[in-house]
Chain A
Amino acid sequence: MTSAAVIALPTRRVEEWKYSDLRAALGDEGFGSGFARAALGPLPQGLECFYLDDANRPAWVTDVYGTLKSNTVSAVSLALAKGGVALRVRKNQAVEAVTLNFSGAGHVRALLVLEEGASLTLHESLSGSDTRNIGFEIVLGANAQLNHVRLSPAAGAAVQVEEVAITLARHARYHFHNAAFGSKLSRLEMYIALEGEGAEAHLTGVCVINNDHADITTRMHHAVAQTHSTQFFKKVAAGKSRAVYQGKVSVAVGADGVDSRQTAKAILLGSQAEADLKPELEILADDVKCAHGAAVGDLDADSLFYLRARGLSENEARNLLLHAFLEEAIPEMALGLVLDQVNDALERVSA
């Protein structure tokens, strides 16, 4: 029997899920009846932690938990998840890096609150080839700063979905990097609301997939004036793969002085690989600077020949070019964390 929770999930007839047929990939089982886990690395000083399956949620959790903009999938995780973790950094505290790992099958939730002037570096990682639905809410207070690096290794036949919903107050800054290596269906959806003047969000990402699927869908909402966002995503798809980027930038009425850029590029290896890159703009203000671009191509034949004529083997040449292509979209803060995985994945697609 198909449960109500499964029926609530989108089919590909829903526009935003056109390239990721969640219902079909999951089948009647949905996300199953289990609960995925959220685990933290060593807790740095200044970081508060509350496990969501504990009783007596404190006010800083209940005030915001479940309030951020969510899609239907995240609504399902909100309704069904039992556990997960909530994190807080108090006003003006600067906290070093913490790791947050999601594992196991089923639904799980996370909440992160950075109060005014607080800062944190978050290393998010996913493990295991389990079918999983993560709902993650992030609240950045005025002048707060979050560096967020997310690593999503290849997960075989699993269906993995995550929604990250973020709200930024005045002059808050959010830097995000995603390294994704795909699975039967993998999707990261981000809803970012720039709600205070001077708030900034900068997203980068690389994706290397081989006979897999990886979707990143972003909705960047400039609610007020003088907000700034950039997005820069690069993808390499080999075999029977599908790489998706859907990025919708919206600028509200009166949000003048907004500056927003989005770029997505993909290299396809082989005739069976597909990339769907869809940047979109919805501008209701007058004085804004918005730019977007997307490009899908093959490895450049001139460059390949040049490198081979100088002695590099075909594999070495391809690898060097793909590496150079991707590295442009990996910021300093993520290099040490994702480079080995990127190299390994490139080895696999070049072999």
Chain B
Amino acid sequence: MLEIKNLHVKVGDKEILKGLNLSLAAGQVHAIMGPNGSGKSTLSYVLAGRAGYDITQGTITYNGEDLGALAPEARAAKGVFLAMQYPVEIPGVTTMMFLKSALNAQRRARGEKELDAIGVLKIVRQKAATLNVSEEMLKRALNVGFSGGEKKRLEILQMKLFEPKLAILDETDSGLDIDALKLVAEGVNSLRDPSRAMLVITHYQRLLDYIVPDRIHVLAKGKIVAEGGKELAKELEAKGYDQIIKDAA
């Protein structure tokens, strides 16, 4: 589903990704682990199409299509979803109104029929219940005054609502206590599906106790330097990034 070959990405004048290779098949959950500054967030932004993250070399192919050539909204309509590390606060736009606008924008782009307010509310309510997202939260301005846990739960709610084909979770575990972490992991696990691929980006092994990946890639200095099965996470935890990166070299 996702094929990244020799990817080089510049942010401003600085090269952050320096020849990254990654292959992710439908039905698989892969984890990207790496120390701070290794390029994890850059990878997530470049996959979602953020302006200012320039591909200088290499390709990102998604279902046979050149992903790098598409606008962020076109990627969303084609099933790419990025759960962000820092969801933005947007005063003046209620969460419910945002969800309706986004869902209908995606449906419109795919040539599907738009849903009315009641139709959207019905779906949202049903998905929100399992994530402990209250009606009251949906009425508030998007992410404004939300706790860290509430913001991340809302990201997962959107993921359930949009039903993406490729879901990228950028440090979704950061700032979560253990209860919130379990809730988020349950949400992610409920979306595991043979037709869906997921890329879980994290600094810590902890999240991978709850979302067990099929494969782990270690990202350091803009490249994948080590790969392995789920046991690699334990090894990283025991030895630390420095040692694993040294071993790989």
Contact = CB atoms under 8 A, between A and B. Distances in A.
A305 B90 contact: no
B48 interface: yes
B238 interface: no
A320 B95 CA distance: 13
Given A316-B105, A320-B101, A308 B90 contact: no
B210 to A, nearest CB: 25
A308 B82 CA distance: 11
Contact of A309 (B82, B90, B91): B82
A327 B97 CA distance: 14
A302 B88 CA distance: 7
25 contacts: A303-B88, A303-B90, A305-B51, A307-B98, A307-B102, A308-B72, A308-B73, A308-B76, A309-B48, A309-B76, A310-B158, A310-B162, A311-B102, A311-B105, A311-B106, A311-B109, A312-B73, A313-B73, A316-B105, A323-B92, A324-B90, A324-B93, A325-B92, A327-B92, A328-B91
Contacts of B75: 309
Interface string B40-83: 00000000111100000000000000000001110111000010
Interface residues of A, number: 22
B108 to A, nearest CB: 9
A311 B162 CA distance: 10
B87 interface: yes
Nearest to A312: B105
B231 to A, nearest CB: 33
Main secondary structure of the interface of A (DSSP, over half): helix
B1 interface: no
Given A302-B88, A303-B88, A311-B77, 16 more contacts: A300-B88, A305-B50, A307-B90, A308-B49, A308-B71, A309-B49, A309-B76, A310-B105, A310-B162, A311-B76, A313-B73, A313-B105, A314-B71, A316-B101, A316-B105, A324-B90
Nearest to B75: A309
A328 B93 CA distance: 10
B84 interface: yes
Contacts of A312: 73, 101-102, 105
Interface of B: 48-51, 71-73, 75-77, 82, 84, 86-88, 90-93, 98, 101-103, 105-106, 109, 158, 162
A321 interface: yes
A310 B51 CA distance: 15
A306 interface: yes
A300 B91 CA distance: 12
Nearest to A325: B92
B50 A310 contact: no
A311 B73 contact: yes
Q: Interface centre among A300, A301, A312, by most B CB within 10 Å?
A: A312
A313 B88 CA distance: 17
Contacts of B50: 305, 309
B73 to A, nearest CB: 5
Contacts of B48: 305, 309
B166 to A, nearest CB: 13
B17 to A, nearest CB: 18
A306 B73 contact: no
A305 B82 CA distance: 11
Nearest to B80: A309
B113 to A, nearest CB: 15
Given A309-B48, A309-B49, A314 B73 contact: yes
Contacts of A316: 101, 105
Nearest to B104: A311
Contacts of A310: 76, 98, 102, 105-106, 158, 162
Q: Interface centre among B49, B75, B92, by most A CB within 10 Å?
A: B92
B78 to A, nearest CB: 10
Contact of B88 (A306, A324, A328): A306
A325 to B, nearest CB: 7
A11 B98 CA distance: 47
B104 to A, nearest CB: 8
Contacts of B103: 311
A104 B158 CA distance: 53
Given A309-B48, A316-B101, A321 B158 contact: no
A302 to B, nearest CB: 5
A320 B91 CA distance: 11
B123 to A, nearest CB: 15
A321 B97 CA distance: 12
Contacts of B158: 310
B44 to A, nearest CB: 10
A137 to B, nearest CB: 36
A311 B106 CA distance: 5
Interface string A157-193: 0000000000000000000000000000000000000
Contacts of B109: 311
Contacts of A306: 84, 87-88, 90
